[in-house]
Structure formats: structure tokens, C-alpha cells
Amino acid sequence: MNVNGLMLELRILTGLPVVPDLYKGNSDKWITFTYQDERPGFFGDNDVLADVAYISLNLFTPANYNYMSLKEDIKTYLEYIGVLTNSESYVYTENQIPIRQTIFEVQIPKEREEQSWHISG
């Protein structure tokens, strides 16, 4: 399952750079997302009905920036597109510039399309 499109839409909502894995730009605020895992998640009648992708979505802001409104916008967007947020945590680092990292651990379910298999012998 490719979830990049859903995550990249956050550019429009936030006006921030959004990239997979690692941001190398020079904005003081940005979002990254990391695809962690994908596995079957919903079952019925001995079939897999949907897969679930597990994503870490990270909002980076200056430590003194009031990020609450931005955080709420991201959560609202995630709920709107049907993403389940498992947890939300924060990390504060002091490098050359103090940074706050807001981490959303999310699950993105996607229904499987019905498959018809024909094995010829």
C-alpha cells in the first residue's frame, strides 16, 4: 500500500514541507513520515479484508513555537481521512537550535480488493 499521497497532502493543510523519512531543507518547521510496517489487519470468512500500514508522522517546530494549533489541524486531517492515531508523544532536543518533535504513531487501514485466482495445471 502506498500512503505517500495521503501524507503529502499535509503540505496543503499546513503550508509546511512534508517529506518521507528525512528533511534536508532549511525551513524552521517541517513534517516527515516514516513507513514502519504493513500487515493484514481485518479478517472475515477466512479472508483478509484489509491491510494496515503503520506510519510514524513527525512534526518538527522550534522549541519556543506555539505548535498546538498546527498539531490539532494535523490530528483533524488524520481523522478525516480515516487514520487511527495510536499515540502522540513529544521529544525536545537541544542541538544548535532547540527543536520540539511531535510524533504521531498512526495506522492507515485499506480495504483489499476482491481477488479471483485461477491456477491452471
For residues 37 and 42, what is the distance between their CA atoms, to the nearest angstrom? Answer: 15
Domains of the chain by start residue, with CATH = 4-111 (3.30.2000.30)
pTM (predicted TM-score): 0.82
- Over residues 85-121, the pLDDT tens digits come to 888 888 877 777 789 999 999 988 877 776 655 566 5
Tell which phi-psi region holds residue 109, choosing left (phi > 0), alpha (psi between -120 and 50) or beta: beta
Please give the Cα distance from 64 to 83 (Å, whole number).
Answer: 29
Q: Which of 53, 22, 59, 60 is nearest to 35 (CA)?
A: 53
Segment 58-75, tens digit of pLDDT = 999 998 999 999 999 999
